[in-house]
Structure 1
Amino acid sequence: MNSSLLALSHLKHLDLSVNDFRRIRIPEFIGSFKKLRYLNLSSTYFMGGIPARLGNLSSLYVLDLSDALDFTSLDNLDWLSHLTSLKNLDLSWLKLTGAPDWFSSVNMLPSLQVLSMSYVGLDTIPASVVHVNFTSSLTVLDLSFNNFNSILPKWLGNISSLTHLDLHYSGFYGVIPDTIGDLGSLTFLDLGGNQLEGIVPKSMVDLRRLKELHMPSNQLTGNLGGWLEQMTNLIILDLRSNLFNGSMPSSFGKFSNLTELNLAGNSVGGVLSEVHFENLTRLRLLDLYGNSITISIGQSWVPPFQLRYVDLTKCQLGPQFPEWLQFQTQIQELHLADCKIAGTMPAWFGNISSSTITYLDLSNNQIGGKLSSSFKFTKLETLSLDSNRFEGPLPTMLPSTLQTLYLSDNSFTGQLPIWPHVQSVALSDNMLDGGLSSSICQWTYLKFLDLSNNKLFGEIPKGIGDLIGLNNLNLSRNHLQGKIPWEIGGMESLESLDLSINDLSGSIPESLLTLYSLSYLNLSYNNLSGMIPTGYQLQTLNDPSIYMGNADLCGPQIFKNCFMQEYKKEISEWLWFYISMILGFVMGFWIFCGILFLKDAWRHAYFHIIDDMYDWVWVQWQLILRRLLRR
């Protein structure tokens, strides 16, 4: 930056944001622009600190230093106190861990309207303050993502002008003070991700102007009634991951502006009926995951809303499919897992939000019947139907957008189709039979495959080595035979391989040594033999249980000497050779004797031949002796 900018003596607006000044410091001369009212140095990554001369900009209204420094920690903010005209201050993403007295500097700004200090590493905040200068001016306060490790300061309730208060993930604990109800101008309140506990104070009933209330991931308890009913201007209500109980007030039906209702991960119970939803015409997100709520809605009810996201996991919906879903045409994610739904899918189910839905989860229910051979969900990316009662063949045609398919723990039969676009497939605990066809070798985008506990037989196809992107392969508890193909070493991304409890034979291919990402291996309970390969990646997998149940394997991994194994094998082979030879001789001898004993004609003929042979040998022997004597 050139100091020639000083020639702009009447400069009022200077914006240098989103530039890369990593190797230079913030120029001192910027503090000389006496008439400057707007200064934006955000995302500039200057080195060094902030020059104290910035305190000379007494006419400044807006100062944005968010992410203005590159890895520099500040220990002094005294220069801020001179910016008496400042209305908007953003110090987010600076490192202020060395500035414990930050509040004193900020409190000297009587006209401050917006204060943003998110992600600055603050760990101190005064529990009490004698006087707060900006109680009637400050409208926005953002102290999110800090490490205060403190209770919520009661003096916050004195800033009556606040409309936006963001304290999420800032290390606050304890109860919410009653003084929170004094912030009657609030339209936005975020206390999420802290360690707040106890019952929500009834004084919050006075926050009638609230449009967004975020208090997720705390330990808040008690009922929703008594403090929530009057917040009829709410657009977003996020109370997920707390300990709220009781039932939902029927007054929810009056929240006509509500677009997002998130109570996931609580212990809310009771019954929800049409009354709770009658005026929620703008509702787009409904998340009641993990609650014990019973949703009792008439089969003829037509909802007044069009949902985009629905999660009713573990709520009581069944045993019938909720008929009101057929009127939803814009759902993008639908989670109905563990909802005690039974029976077969209704005919209309394949048409709900068919052009918008990307995620469908019906797992852990009792839904049965056969799946259609093709799906109408043109944008579906994830389908989870595991732990149901589906049967029959697998669908042959899947949407080209589908990446994740969970169909485990059903009763599917038949062979594997060709699904070239899928990335994750879980088909364990079914009744799939036939050979492990080479069709899976055409699933070129595959990253996860679980076919365990089926009835697959035959050999593992050699083409499986072409699945170079596969991270997890589980073929355990089937009836696979033959050798482990050498080509399996081509699966360079493989992290987990389970071939246990099959009928595989032969040696373990040394190509496994080249699977440098392999962190889990199970080859137990097969008929593998020979020396276990050593070195490279297999050297890190030294648990003997990996190879147990293979009697003919040897190697240091299982404390079995391969030399002794071969020696015993050779002795065993020779021993069986001699034993079989002797047994053969004995068997032949007794068969021969038995025949002579039972057949008179054979016996006479045999001894006659013996006599003739004896006479012939005796005569020849005598002739040889006489010839020798004549000589």
Structure 2
Amino acid sequence: MNSSLLALSHLERLDLSFNDFSGIRIPEFIGSFKKLRYLNLSSTNFMGGIPARLGNLSSLYVLDLSDALHFTSHVDNLDWLSHLTSLKHLDLSGLNLTDVPDWFSSVNMLPSLQVLSMSSVGLDTIPASVVHVNFTSSLTVLDLASNNFNSTLPKWLGNITSLTQLDLHHSGFYGVIPDTIGDLGSLTFLDLGGNQLEGIVPRSMVDLRRLKELHMPSNQLTGNLSGWLEQMTNLIILDLRSNLFNGSMPSSSVGKLSNLTELYLGGNSLGGIISEVHFENLTRLQVLDLSGNPITISIGQSWVPPFQLRYVDLTKCQLGPQFPEWLQFQTQIQVLSMDYCKIAGTMPAWFWNISSSTITALDLSNNQIGGKLPSSLKFTKLERLYLKSNRFEGPLPTMLPSTVQTLYLSNNSFTGQLPIWPHVTFVFISDNMLDGGLSSSICQWTGGLVYLDLSKNKLLGQIPYYCLGKSLQNLYYLDLGNNHFSGEIPHTIGFLSELQLLQLKNNSFSGEVPLSLKNCTNLWFLDLAQNNLVGSIMLWMGENLRQLVVLRLRSNMFFGVIPWQLARFEQLQILDLANNNFSGSIPHNIGNLNTMRSTSQYSDFCSDELDVFTKGQDLHYLQCNMQLMKSLDLSNNHLIG
């Protein structure tokens, strides 16, 4: 950056935003542009701090330094700000201000300030009380989001009555919302989300009649929605997700907000019955999230909604047993989630017609929906399809759109062979009745498959060795457990260098564990239990598979001694060698399995499910609750000593 810029002696506006000045400091000579009114250095990646000479720009109206410094650079003081008495817009977001001793005093010297943005700057203090706030009558936008104040909401905020936007999300505020919030009658935008606010919403909130967006998700707010919410008739977006609101949702509260386009009430404890009356005035509604509430949605089958929704999440609401007929009039839905909604019966024929044009994500899991899927879904725009734990039957669709990435079809009654789906990335089809082999299908899945779960089916034959290192080389999760596979584990398994989980339990695999498996150095889960495998434990396991957390070889025909190298598994929590033909003594260094012997070290691994046989019980763990489980089983061998 050349100082010849100083020849522009009448310069009033300098915008260098979104360039990359990595390696140099902000030039001191910028402070010499006496007539500069606008300076924007946002997202410029300068090194070092901010030159104090910027305080010479006394004519400056706008100063934007958001993300102007490399993340390793610190700002040690803001005293120079006090000289910018004409400043109206100040944005310091994304800078590291952890070393600034008193940020508020510096900012409070700017009497003309209208916009102050200091989000994600590492602030951890905010004054509880202030004698005088200089910008009380001028400030319209205050953004202190994503800091860590660990404080109650300061009452002096209520003195800034000119505020139209207040953003304090994820800033470590706790306690109750003060009554003084009602003094901010000019607010159109308020975000208090992601804090630890508690108690009921103060009645003074009804004075915020100009509010268009109210965001208070992820707190511990309680009480019901009536008595305050119905007064905010200008609301366009209402987000109260993940709180502790309870009681019923009377039509006289939310139902009066006729300007609403987005309604988020998921993750509360709201109950009662919702009917057509609640929605008759919400003609502009596009987003509806009532998920996780024990609400009964009782709507007549002939009801025609007054809105067109884009996003619908009714997870765990009581919708059934009938499939909601009113959805056939919704022609713009992109995301539809009706998980755990007690819906039964057969999928209506009209559904695939309305979903074909717009729906990209569909979740109907954990219901009792039956029927067959269309033989082709290529006409849809689906990216994610979740139908697990239902009663779907018949063959799987032979054709999918190229947009599909995730298929979750587990725990149904699908039959037939696995189709050719060349574009899928995440596939879960466990616990069905699929049969046949794999050679005619997955070898042609060339779109970058990374997650494949075909467990608990009736699949048979050998794993096709010739496609493991080609079509499936990006796999990091492979579960073929509880099938009828036979033959040797292909040596090409070693080409799956990204593999983290290999589950082959309860099949009829034979032969030795291929030496090439030592190339899978990212493995943390290896389960070969209940097969017909032979040979000894390879010494390379302790050398190459150092990340293993779970190793299960039980119920095979392995023999030989248990090598002392297994003690090198520093992360191991489950070691099961039971029901084999191991002999000799237990390695003297078995006590060196650090994680297994520790009472405080737990790995953060996560498995959808895991079998642990211990003390005569076959325990089946679900989801990510395995972190505390530790098990060592050497029983039913020929050990001595």
Tell me whether the two structures share a fold, i.e. TM-score over 0.5: yes
CA 2–447 in structure 1, closer or farther in 2 if over 3 Å, else same? closer
CA distance in 2, matches of 1:52, 1:231: 45
Residues 1:81 and 2:70 are matched in the alignment: no
Partner of 2:459: 456
Residues 1:5 and 2:5 are matched in the alignment: yes
**Amino acid of the structure 2 residue aligned with 1:419:** W
CA 450–28 in structure 1, closer or farther in 2 if over 3 Å, else same? closer
Q: Any residues of structure 2 matched to 1:187-586 within 5 Å, and which?
A: 187-251=188-252, 252-375=254-377, 377-445=379-447, 446-465=449-468, 466=470, 467-535=472-540, 539-540=545-546, 546-556=552-562, 558=577
**Amino acid of the structure 2 residue aligned with 1:283:** L
1:357, 1:377 within 8 Å by CA — same for their partners in 2? no
CA distance in 2, matches of 1:333, 1:508: 44
1:418, 1:440 within 8 Å by CA — same for their partners in 2? yes
Q: CA deviation at 1:373?
A: 1.3
CA distance in 1, matches of 2:268, 2:560: 54
**Amino acid of the structure 2 residue aligned with 1:443:** W
Residues 1:100 and 2:105 are matched in the alignment: no
CA 377–326 in structure 1, closer or farther in 2 if over 3 Å, else same? farther
Unaligned runs of 5+ in 1: 566-631
Partner of 1:595: none
Q: Secondary structure at the match of 2:82?
A: helix
CA distance in 1, matches of 2:328, 2:52: 64
CA 98–441 in structure 1, closer or farther in 2 if over 3 Å, else same? same
Partner of 2:601: none
Q: CA deviation at 1:85?
A: 1.1
CA 31–484 in structure 1, closer or farther in 2 if over 3 Å, else same? closer
CA 282–533 in structure 1, closer or farther in 2 if over 3 Å, else same? same
Q: Secondary structure at the match of 1:511?
A: helix
Post-superposition Cα deviations, 1:141-163, rounded to whole Å, max 9, x if no partner, equal 00011111111000000000000
Post-superposition Cα deviations, 1:344-398, rounded to whole Å, max 9, x if no partner, equal 0111111113111111111100011222212265210111111011122222222
2:460, 2:484 within 8 Å by CA — same for their partners in 1? yes
CA 244–377 in structure 1, closer or farther in 2 if over 3 Å, else same? farther
CA distance in 2, matches of 1:378, 1:366: 23
Q: Secondary structure at the match of 2:263?
A: strand
Q: Secondary structure at the match of 1:213?
A: strand
Q: CA deviation at 1:541?
A: 6.8
CA distance in 1, matches of 2:75, 2:418: 62
CA 166–341 in structure 1, closer or farther in 2 if over 3 Å, else same? same
CA 184–484 in structure 1, closer or farther in 2 if over 3 Å, else same? same
**Amino acid of the structure 1 residue aligned with 2:553:** Y
Post-superposition Cα deviations, 1:473-531, rounded to whole Å, max 9, x if no partner, equal 11111222222222222223222111111122111111211222222110011111112
Partner of 1:603: none
Residues 1:178 and 2:171 are matched in the alignment: no
Post-superposition Cα deviations, 1:80-105, rounded to whole Å, max 9, x if no partner, equal 11111111111111111111311111
Post-superposition Cα deviations, 1:553-584, rounded to whole Å, max 9, x if no partner, equal 4452559898989xxxxxxxxxxxxxxxxxxx
2:175, 2:196 within 8 Å by CA — same for their partners in 1? yes
1:137, 1:161 within 8 Å by CA — same for their partners in 2? yes
Q: Secondary structure at the match of 2:4?
A: helix
**Amino acid of the structure 2 residue aligned with 1:403:** Q
CA distance in 2, matches of 1:199, 1:307: 30
CA distance in 1, matches of 2:22, 2:480: 53
CA 8–294 in structure 1, closer or farther in 2 if over 3 Å, else same? same
CA distance in 1, matches of 2:130, 2:308: 48
Q: CA deviation at 1:199?
A: 0.8
2:560, 2:584 within 8 Å by CA — same for their partners in 1? no
Post-superposition Cα deviations, 1:13-38, rounded to whole Å, max 9, x if no partner, equal 22222233333333333323322221
CA distance in 1, matches of 2:433, 2:152: 57
Q: Secondary structure at the match of 1:303?
A: coil
Alignment root-mean-square deviation, CA: 2.1
CA 487–180 in structure 1, closer or farther in 2 if over 3 Å, else same? same
Q: Secondary structure at the match of 2:81?
A: helix
Post-superposition Cα deviations, 1:9-64, rounded to whole Å, max 9, x if no partner, equal 33222222223333333333332332222122222233332222222222211111
CA 162–532 in structure 1, closer or farther in 2 if over 3 Å, else same? same
CA 442–62 in structure 1, closer or farther in 2 if over 3 Å, else same? same
Instruction: Please identify, of 274-283 and 126-135, the stretch whose mean Cα deviation from structure 2 is larger.
Output: 274-283
CA 563–194 in structure 1, closer or farther in 2 if over 3 Å, else same? closer
Q: Taking every aligned residue pair, what percent have the same amino acid on both sides?
A: 76
Q: Secondary structure at the match of 1:55?
A: helix
CA distance in 1, matches of 2:219, 2:548: 43
Instruction: Please identify, of 327-336 and 92-101, the stretch whose mean Cα deviation from structure 2 is larger.
Output: 92-101
Q: Which has the larger radius of gyration?
A: 1
Partner of 2:133: 132
Q: CA deviation at 1:399?
A: 2.2
More helix by share: 1
Instruction: Please identify, of 124-133 and 481-490, the stretch whose mean Cα deviation from structure 2 is larger.
Output: 481-490
Instruction: Please identify, of 108-117 and 39-48, the stretch whose mean Cα deviation from structure 2 is larger.
Output: 39-48
CA 35–485 in structure 1, closer or farther in 2 if over 3 Å, else same? closer
CA 16–564 in structure 1, closer or farther in 2 if over 3 Å, else same? closer
2:212, 2:237 within 8 Å by CA — same for their partners in 1? yes
Unaligned runs of 5+ in 2: 564-576, 586-641
Q: Secondary structure at the match of 2:355?
A: coil
Partner of 1:616: none
Partner of 1:596: none
1:468, 1:490 within 8 Å by CA — same for their partners in 2? yes
2:35, 2:57 within 8 Å by CA — same for their partners in 1? yes
Q: CA deviation at 1:538?
A: 5.2
**Amino acid of the structure 1 residue aligned with 2:552:** I
**Amino acid of the structure 2 residue aligned with 1:528:** L
CA distance in 2, matches of 1:29, 1:413: 74
2:522, 2:545 within 8 Å by CA — same for their partners in 1? no
Q: CA deviation at 1:182?
A: 0.5
Instruction: Using structure 1 for the length normalisation, give the TM-score.
Output: 0.86
1:328, 1:353 within 8 Å by CA — same for their partners in 2? no
Q: Secondary structure at the match of 2:328?
A: helix
CA 543–148 in structure 1, closer or farther in 2 if over 3 Å, else same? closer
CA 541–93 in structure 1, closer or farther in 2 if over 3 Å, else same? closer
1:509, 1:533 within 8 Å by CA — same for their partners in 2? no
1:351, 1:376 within 8 Å by CA — same for their partners in 2? no
CA distance in 1, matches of 2:514, 2:480: 17
2:528, 2:553 within 8 Å by CA — same for their partners in 1? yes
Q: Secondary structure at the match of 1:157?
A: helix
Post-superposition Cα deviations, 1:108-144, rounded to whole Å, max 9, x if no partner, equal 1111100111111111110000111111100000001
1:501, 1:525 within 8 Å by CA — same for their partners in 2? yes
Q: CA deviation at 1:218?
A: 0.8
Q: Secondary structure at the match of 1:14?
A: strand
Q: Secondary structure at the match of 1:229?
A: helix
CA distance in 1, matches of 2:390, 2:23: 61
Q: Secondary structure at the match of 2:181?
A: helix
Instruction: Please identify, of 379-388 and 32-41, the stretch whose mean Cα deviation from structure 2 is larger.
Output: 32-41
More strand by share: 2
